[in-house]
Structure 1
Amino acid sequence: MVGDSSGLGVERSVERTLGHLRALDTASAEAAERPLTLEDLYRQQRMRMVRLAILLVDDPATAEDVVQEAFTGLYRNWSGLRDAKAAIGYLRTAVVNGSRSVLRRRKTAREYQPPHQADARSAESLAMLTAEHQAVVAALAELPPRQREVLVLRYYGDLSEAEIAEATGVSKGTVKSTASRALDALQRIMRSH
């Protein structure tokens, strides 16, 4: 088990791991000016959205597809958006919804085929993480999709409960209870490894 045995230790591990990944992304995003065009937004937000999708679907190629679809949808709706901040929210919601669709399709496919374990993480992405961070990312992959979404959006996306509720289409109370259950489950998973 990594960290201490309390739920608070697991939460700190999740926060450190996903916060570390968020810091890598925001450092490059903050260096650029606020997005003004779709092209600027694509350059500044693409990798952040890909990392978000990877944390949700656990497959880099699929994550790229999800993000590409999100940007395609944004392009179609560009004229109806208020500002760049609304565009980022649109992208985040589209990535979450696209990831959900992927996971539903995977579940359906598994019902008709024997399950297989895909080697989703690249050696480079894991090499950048410490052993503790690797353990947290591996444990996140074992959580149910909704729990994983809430933790990733909270600690990687650095979103408030209200923003998570909006991105996932659930109530703030559901976000709070899901996060609590997810941290408990994560603690159990990490203890068992």
Structure 2
Amino acid sequence: MPVIAPMPAARPASLPAQRGGADETVAAGTTVDHLTETYRAHYRSLLGLAALLLDDTASCEDVVQEAFIRVHSARNRVREPEKTLAYLRQTVVNLSRSALRRRILGLKLLSKPMPDMASAEEGAYDQLERDALIKAMKGLQRRQREVLVLRYFADMTEAQVAETLGVSLGSVKAYGSRGIAALRVVMEAQT
């Protein structure tokens, strides 16, 4: 459970006297003094409620403060002052849910990390290697080239290559072995 910050000191709020004989507090609803007393008495418990729903102290404090602001703004609608705490609790729960929804939406909207991509230098080097390999392949005998292309680029088994080319399995092995040896010589000469 996160560490809860000490309760901030509350300043007593009062409304200026209104003209026309009206009382200093709202006649039907929660008074400013009652809300101030509720703040002093229940700030920590509301902060604890928010801490059970959220994961960081700053968000909890923000939610509780926002709840008090909303109750203060809507104090005329709270007809029974003893229900002020219940209204505050419900507001804290609703604001916590909203905060969590915003976080989840934010996580969904974050751009997905790109898969590991080669740097431009690596890409250029890979392209040079591919070009050198293609050039070396073109220098091989026709059957050697066919066997290597079918075996390693088309990912066929030796038996499938033999069937495709209409040669024996032994011929495929021989052409493949000679072709790889010839490629190795050409590629090593280029480096």
TM-score, normalised on structure 2? 0.39
Higher relative contact order (CA closer than 8 Å, sequence separation 6+): 1
Q: Mark the structure with the bigger radius of gyration.
A: 2
Question: TM-score under structure 1 normalisation?
Answer: 0.39
